[in-house]
């Protein structure tokens, strides 16, 4: 760990509502300049965690440090954070310029300085010419940009974002993801991003924390969390997963489809759990093509555009395979006998 | 063309009939006010403005109008301020005790006015405040606070709480949040509350009859008292003017709402 | 422990003070009703139930109670039915003309009661209906229809329109939709409307004073009239009973709401 | 066209609200037993179209035929359709049994018959044991099943579904898609399905109609609509698309990236438009691998789980490539010089 303090350090924070733990003994360190995403199902505590960082909700226990300074009981206005809200929370009684100038006005910046700074972010966000518009005269995408400009105008070192793209449609959403990511890289801002959209989380983040029931279930870079989930919940929550009930015996897993070696499984261990493999690692064909395979028949084929999804019955068990849609199809039909093949490295053992 | 079944036509006729019944009392008063007859009679045999002239030429009626206006404005200021303060504090209160006070703020709407009137009368008699305009205004405020409270509370409740949070994150203290965000956004509701509180006071009879004495007689009380003595169309003329003021205030409220959206 | 700044304590004290002021008139009436003194005096020197006995032993007071109850029930039935019908028809009306009638249904809430009273008085005098209980109930309905309309209209508005569409898709005619889906779902609001219409009639003084004559005197009017002659604590006792009935009806309403959710 | 009438025929229907066409001169034929999806952005008229089929909204012009019978002005109760609503529209004052029995009660079926039929669909939907529960005591997924059971209990030949899975979370959603699809295959019901989720549409439908501005922009099986969109709007709306501004000249397209032959482009035609290719058809590597290629440098790499997305700058132009995430990555980094290759058959010419 470096000598500089973490941008944000949460040290065993807890928040209880009506006797149930919304957040339970949670610790996290977020580095300066990091794009850090908190992902989780609704009710997992991700919004409560963000609210505690912002200061809207006070932790019942534990400590919150921002750039090394204790902030646990400080009100929001003392924390100096930028924030983009879920539905933007732009002030409807102010025009675009005054919305963006708000943090500067409150800080009593001179008019001249306010003007310079606001114009700077306006041009950064391609909003020149919109200064005197009212918020309700803007499209969703423009409102998003104003919210972003307001969060950045006073150059805070940390910006919190609470599902900022939730209200935009697919195409605009993807475009804004890239813009935010590029902006963050350029400005070196630390971003804490809350979302329930996994693709968004993987596309933008340096690290992802997946929360479940008030705790962090796993933290790490997107690829690591995707490829090596620690539990069956994580495997299913991030991406699609085949989870075949299995028994571990002498370093190999026994499944209804047969017994396979699995890398990384505890050599001497025994127990019940799952054999886990991602759909895109399974190859469906008339003949086996990988080192490991199982035989079965096709139950369903769905064309999903960029991929084709096959559901294959292997005895009682059903697995899903996803393959890139080529020109024409593989000539496979419902009920056809096929082999499902994979590389031994692609399977994992998950003890529940 | 769409078909209109019999049931549709019947229901339409019914609606119009009921609307007519609800309109009738007001229409009768308006028509009589323009009567040229020297006694109450409907429909009038001919029309004139004589009763309006008589009304405006009478010092006692003019005094009543001034009383109504002064008391109405005072009551409006008191109720709007207290109503806003109560709505703001109760919405933000997390604790059971303060929250539990909400029904108290709605009480005067629920308790029959006669009861409130008697209660206030007992209190006023003891304190020798009968006929004091400020005291009548205070008594009217008891009835107008629930109105001002409800209007402002629902506006504050409908306000996106993220707006106040945004103001806090961007550096505002509680007082700055109130001044920079909450008050400007609640302005239309505050104006509405002020207007409806005014109307509540302006229209009040029961409580005023007990407390006004001779000095602080308001317009509706004067109407009431004069009904016993001089049942003549002046009353219809005064009533019509009264209706006019009421609608003026409502139109003002409407115009304010429209200009803000 | 959270910190409580001075401003927090002050605002709390303020809220409690205002709540006290709003409660005061009712508390005064309740206390006096249990007085043992033979004249109005606050605080009473000693307590008894004598004024309640006097009240219950008096035929005129008992008649007034029966009148209040009978007129209240009739007014409640009329207003709830018409209010539901109007709310249902206006919500479903697509055409401008019918929709434009909505303000008319709210009119009696806005127009000062004195005016409505005078208007109704003119009409009643002509038709020789003064003192007729059914007519007083009808007059009360004019004031209670807006209440019944608002309560039922907001419930119908809040109902997911997909529910009625689902009933239609699955084979219901308009009447069957009403019977199988709309009425059962609106039941809590219909009950509320009935109770609040009853209270509106039960509490009404101004209009009743004009129309009731001697035969159809209701409780609040009897309180009013007796105030002029016999200013004694019986009135406080009657008033307390009056408050009790009001709260009973409100509790009933609350219980109904809770049992349905 | 077969001799049997179409399950649903819309013949030039039009609906105008306040002077603007919500649906404009729309014609469609939906065959018996077909799973037909109407897909489109919000405001495209898809919900209005469904409402006109159901009879909630009367068409201003045109004709609606159900199984050959004219129904244009008939009220909903005369049309005999089943329907699943967006938020289920289950009756909160009735229990599960009576909700499902509703269409039978209205049709005055005998109590015994009602019981038999309801129990049959209850078991089909795995809802046995829930008969006396109230709707608010059920989870979202269970409510979905009750709504489905109510729509099917009287064996209607056509069932309309208005975003029936919109309220469910990702995993449950996918499971219900498969269940509905299997049920439909078993019962042979005609289904008209409205959704804005493209993956759902492609996964379930025999044919998809994409609506835009009150009109049908394209109809066809999922693969055909995905691979051969007729306009740039369609290419972007269904799936991801690279749309490179291009000029058509003598059967080849000229783009800022170079000139390529494109199959299916009008041989003698000239004009302005787009060169269109799906991201999954572009291969990014250090060396060219396909018959056609362009050279550029990597601008962004996002790991999205099952795929890795590369944004590659080719001069002024930027294209996106999506490749299945293999074990380890390709060893490419930001700024690396790469070649983007594709097969000539994969590109398309779109005249706006």
Q: Tens digit of pLDDT for each residue in D152-198?
A: 999 999 999 999 998 787 778 888 999 999 999 999 999 999 998 88
**pLDDT tens digits, one per residue of A186-244:** 999 999 999 988 889 999 999 999 999 999 999 999 999 999 999 999 998 998 899 99
Q: What is the pLDDT of residue A1?
A: 44
**pLDDT tens digits, one per residue of D45-95:** 999 999 999 999 999 999 999 999 999 999 999 999 999 999 999 999 999
- Across residues C85-104, what is the average pLDDT? 80
A91 touches chain B (CB under 8 A): yes
Selecting from B28, B86, B250 the residue whose C-beta is nearest the C-beta of C15 gives B86
B16 touches chain C (CB under 8 A): yes
- Answer yes or no: are the C-beta atoms of B114 and C205 closer than 8 Å: yes
Q: What is the pLDDT of residue A27?
A: 95
**Contact: A86, B173; criterion CB under 8 Å:** no
- Across residues C224-245, what is the average pLDDT? 75
pLDDT confidence band for C77 (50 / 70 / 90): very high
Q: What is the pLDDT of residue B243?
A: 80
A106 touches chain B (CB under 8 A): yes
Question: Does A180 have pLDDT greater than 80?
Answer: yes
How far is CA C145 from its chain centroid? Answer: 11
- Across residues D288-301, what is the average pLDDT? 87
What's the rounded Cα separation, in Å, for the pair A258 and C74? 80
D107 touches chain C (CB under 8 A): yes
A306 touches chain D (CB under 8 A): yes
Give chains near C: 3+ CB pairs under 8 A: B, D
The strand pairing partners of A300, in sequence order, are A311
D173 touches chain C (CB under 8 A): no
Q: Does residue B83 fall inside a structural domain?
A: yes
- Across residues C82-101, what is the average pLDDT? 81
Q: How many CB pairs under 8 A join C and D?
A: 58
Q: Which residues of B touch A106 (CB under 8 A)?
A: 167, 170-172, 176, 180
Q: Does residue C186 fall inside a structural domain?
A: yes
Question: Does B233 have pLDDT greater than 50?
Answer: yes
Q: What is the pLDDT of residue A18?
A: 80
pLDDT confidence band for C2 (50 / 70 / 90): very low
ipTM of model: 0.82
Question: Does D37 have pLDDT greater than 70?
Answer: yes
Q: What is the pLDDT of residue B209?
A: 85
What's the rounded Cα separation, in Å, for the pair D190 and D39? 17
- Lowest mean pLDDT, pick from A311-325, B14-28, D101-115: B14-28
pLDDT confidence band for B39 (50 / 70 / 90): confident
The strand pairing partners of D82, in sequence order, are D159
Q: Does residue C53 fall inside a structural domain?
A: no
**Chain B nearest-CA residue for A53:** B169
What's the rounded Cα separation, in Å, for the pair D287 and A204? 28
Q: What is the pLDDT of residue A211?
A: 95
**Contact: D306, A324; criterion CB under 8 Å:** no
In this structure, the strands spanning A337-342 and A292-303 are antiparallel
Selecting from D203, D240, D300 the residue whose C-beta is nearest the C-beta of A178 gives D300
- Across residues A247-263, what is the average pLDDT? 82
Q: Does residue C27 fall inside a structural domain?
A: no
In angstroms, the separation between the Cα of residue B200 and the nearest Cα of chain A is: 30
Closest by CA position to A147, among listed A201, A84, A63: A84
**Chain C nearest-CA residue for B92:** C8
pLDDT confidence band for D128 (50 / 70 / 90): very high
In angstroms, the separation between the Cα of residue B56 and the nearest Cα of chain C is: 19
Q: Which residues of A touch D325 (CB under 8 A)?
A: 223, 280
Selecting from A202, A305, A345 the residue whose C-beta is nearest the C-beta of D304 gives A202
Best of D236, D304, D322 to mutate (most A CBs within 10 Å, chain A): D304
Q: Which residues of C touch B11 (CB under 8 A)?
A: 85, 89
B148, D144, D225 from D88: Cα distances, Å: 40, 7, 30
Q: What is the pLDDT of residue B120?
A: 84
- Across residues C221-249, what is the average pLDDT? 77
pLDDT confidence band for A259 (50 / 70 / 90): confident
**Chain B nearest-CA residue for A103:** B170
Q: Which distant-in-sequence residues (6+ apart) come within 8 Å of D95 by Cβ?
A: D131, D132, D133, D134, D135
In this structure, the strands spanning D61-66 and D69-70 are antiparallel
**pLDDT tens digits, one per residue of A281-330:** 998 988 888 778 889 999 988 888 888 999 999 888 899 999 887 655 67
Selecting from D79, D89, D106 the residue whose C-beta is nearest the C-beta of C163 gives D89
Question: Does B101 have pLDDT greater than 90?
Answer: no
Q: Which residues of A touch B168 (CB under 8 A)?
A: 55-56, 75-77
D259 touches chain C (CB under 8 A): no
- Lowest mean pLDDT, pick from B60-64, B232-236, C235-239: B232-236
How crowded is residue D144: how many other Cβ atoms within 10 Å of its Cβ? 24
**Contact: C114, B24; criterion CB under 8 Å:** no
Q: What is the pLDDT of residue D268?
A: 67
Q: What is the pLDDT of residue D118?
A: 97
Q: Does residue C225 fall inside a structural domain?
A: yes
Q: What is the pLDDT of residue B2?
A: 46
Range of the domain at B151: 59-260
Q: Which residues of B touch A77 (CB under 8 A)?
A: 168-173
A8, A41, A49 from A214: Cα distances, Å: 18, 11, 9
In angstroms, the separation between the Cα of residue C8 and the nearest Cα of chain B is: 9
- Answer yes or no: are the C-beta atoms of D66 and C143 closer than 8 Å: no
**pLDDT tens digits, one per residue of B128-168:** 888 889 999 999 999 999 999 999 999 999 999 999 999 99
**Burial class (CB within 10 angstroms; exposed 0-12, middle 13-18, buried 19+) of A234:** buried
pLDDT confidence band for D32 (50 / 70 / 90): very high
Q: pLDDT higher for B214 or D11?
A: D11
Domain count within chain C: 1
Q: Which residues of C touch B42 (CB under 8 A)?
A: 122-123, 126
* Helix, strand, coil percentages, rounded to 5, for chain B: 80, 0, 20
Q: Which residues of B touch A161 (CB under 8 A)?
A: none
**CATH code at B247?**
1.10.3720.10
Question: Does A98 have pLDDT greater than 70?
Answer: yes
In angstroms, the separation between the Cα of residue D230 and the nearest Cα of chain A is: 16
- Lowest mean pLDDT, pick from B208-212, C6-10, C93-97: C93-97
Q: What is the pLDDT of residue C135?
A: 92
Q: Does residue B9 fall inside a structural domain?
A: no
Q: pLDDT higher for D133 or C9?
A: D133
Tell which B residues from 118 to 177 touch C, by Cβ distance under 8 Å. 118-120, 122-123, 126, 142, 145, 174
**Contact: D222, A278; criterion CB under 8 Å:** no
Question: Does B122 have pLDDT greater than 60?
Answer: yes
Give me the count of residues in chain C: 261
**Chain D nearest-CA residue for A177:** D302
Q: What is the pLDDT of residue C229?
A: 65
Q: Which structure tokens are listed for C31?
A: 């206390």
A4 touches chain B (CB under 8 A): no
**pLDDT tens digits, one per residue of C115-174:** 888 888 877 877 788 888 999 999 999 999 999 999 999 999 999 999 999 999 999 998
What's the rounded Cα separation, in Å, for the pair C147 and C169? 33
**Contact: D56, C181; criterion CB under 8 Å:** no
A139 touches chain D (CB under 8 A): no
**Contact: B160, A87; criterion CB under 8 Å:** yes
Q: Which structure tokens are listed for A110?
A: 């001179």
**pLDDT tens digits, one per residue of D194-252:** 998 888 999 999 999 999 999 999 999 999 999 999 999 999 899 889 999 998 887 78
Question: Does D3 have pLDDT greater than 70?
Answer: no
- Tell me, yes or no, if the pTM score tops 0.80: yes
**Contact: A202, D171; criterion CB under 8 Å:** no
Selecting from D222, D280, D327 the residue whose C-beta is nearest the C-beta of A306 gives D280
Q: Which distant-in-sequence residues (6+ apart) come within 8 Å of A26 by Cβ?
A: A10, A12, A13, A14, A45, A49, A62, A214, A215, A216
The strand pairing partners of A21, in sequence order, are A16
How crowded is residue A157: how many other Cβ atoms within 10 Å of its Cβ? 17
Q: pLDDT higher for A18 or A214?
A: A214
pLDDT confidence band for B4 (50 / 70 / 90): low
D112 touches chain C (CB under 8 A): no
What's the rounded Cα separation, in Å, for the pair D184 and A158? 52
Q: pLDDT higher for B148 or B239?
A: B148
A345 touches chain D (CB under 8 A): yes
Best of B9, B29, B121 to mutate (most C CBs within 10 Å, chain C): B29
D46 touches chain A (CB under 8 A): no
- Across residues C208-233, what is the average pLDDT? 79
Q: What is the pLDDT of residue C15?
A: 84
**Contact: C104, B23; criterion CB under 8 Å:** yes
C77 touches chain D (CB under 8 A): no
Q: How many CB pairs under 8 A join B and C?
A: 179
């Amino acid at each position: 760990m470096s000598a500089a303090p973490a941008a944000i350090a949460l040290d065993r924070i807890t928040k209880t509502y009506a006797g149930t733990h919304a957040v339970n003994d949670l610790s996290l360190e977020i580095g300066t300049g990091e794009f850090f995403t908190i992902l989780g199902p609704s009710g997992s505590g991700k919004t409560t965690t963000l609210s505690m960082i912002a200061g809207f909700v006070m932790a019942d226990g534990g400590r919150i440090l921002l750039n090394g300074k204790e902030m646990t009981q400080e009100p929001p206005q003392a924390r100096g954070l930028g924030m983009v809200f879920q539905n933007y929370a732009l002030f409807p009684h102010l025009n675009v310029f005054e919305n963006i100038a708000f943090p500067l006005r409150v800080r009593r910046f001179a008019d001249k300085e306010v003007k310079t700074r606001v114009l700077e972010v306006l041009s950064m966000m391609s909003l020149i010419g919109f200064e005197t518009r009212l918020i309700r005269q803007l499209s969703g995408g423009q409102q998003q940009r104003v919210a972003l400009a307001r969060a950045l105008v006073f150059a805070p070192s940390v910006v919190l974002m609470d599902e900022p793209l939730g209200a935009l449609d697919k195409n605009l959403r993807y475009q804004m993801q890239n813009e935010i990511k590029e902006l963050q890289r350029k400005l070196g801002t630390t971003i804490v991003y809350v979302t329930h959209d996994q693709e968004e989380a993987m596309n933008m983040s340096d690290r992802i924390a997946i929360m479940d029931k008030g705790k962090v279930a796993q933290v790490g870079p997107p690829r690591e969390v995707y490829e090596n989930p620690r539990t069956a919940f994580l495997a299913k929550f991030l991406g699609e997963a085949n989870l075949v009930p299995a028994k571990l015996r002498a370093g190999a897993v026994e499944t209804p489809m047969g017994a396979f070696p699995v890398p990384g499984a505890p050599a001497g261990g025994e127990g019940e759990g799952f054999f886990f493999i991602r759909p895109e690692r399974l190859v469906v064909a008339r003949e086996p093509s990988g080192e490991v395979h199982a035989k079965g028949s096709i139950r369903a084929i769905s064309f999903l555009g960029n991929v084709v999804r096959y559901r294959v019955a292997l005895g009682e068990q059903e697995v899903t395979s996803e393959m890139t849609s080529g020109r024409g199809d593989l000539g496979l039909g419902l009920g056809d006998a096929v082999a499902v093949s994979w590389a031994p490295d692609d399977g994992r053992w998950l003890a529940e | 063309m769409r078909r209109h079944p019999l049931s549709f036509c019947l229901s339409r006729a019914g609606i119009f009939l009921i609307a007519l019944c609800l309109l009738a009392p007001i229409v009768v008063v308006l028509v009589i006010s323009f009567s040229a007859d020297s006694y109450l009679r409907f429909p009038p045999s001919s029309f004139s403005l004589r009763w309006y002239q008589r009304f405006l030429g009478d010092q006692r009626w003019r005094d009543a109008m001034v009383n109504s206006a002064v008391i109405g404005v005072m009551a409006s200021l008191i109720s709007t301020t207290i109503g806003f303060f109560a709505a703001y504090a109760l919405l933000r209160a997390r604790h059971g005790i303060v929250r539990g006070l909400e029904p108290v703020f709605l009480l005067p709407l629920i308790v029959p006015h006669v009861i409130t009137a008697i209660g206030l009368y007992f209190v006023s008699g003891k304190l020798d405040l009968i006929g004091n305009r400020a005291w009548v205004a205070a008594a009217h405020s008891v009835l107008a606070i629930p109105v001002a409270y409800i209007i402002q509370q629902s506006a504050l409740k409908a306000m996106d709480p993220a707006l106040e949070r945004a103001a806090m994150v961007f550096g505002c203290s509680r007082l700055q949040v109130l001044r920079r965000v909450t008050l400007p956004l609640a302005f239309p509701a505050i104006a509405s509350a002020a207007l409806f509180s005014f109307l509540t006071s302006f229209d009040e009879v029961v409580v005023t009859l007990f407390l006004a004495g001779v000095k602080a007689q308001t317009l509706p009380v004067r109407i009431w008292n004069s009904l016993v003595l001089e049942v003549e169309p002046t009353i219809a003329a005064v009533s019509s003017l009264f209706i006019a003021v009421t609608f003026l205030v409502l139109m003002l409220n409407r115009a304010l709402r429209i200009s803000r959206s």
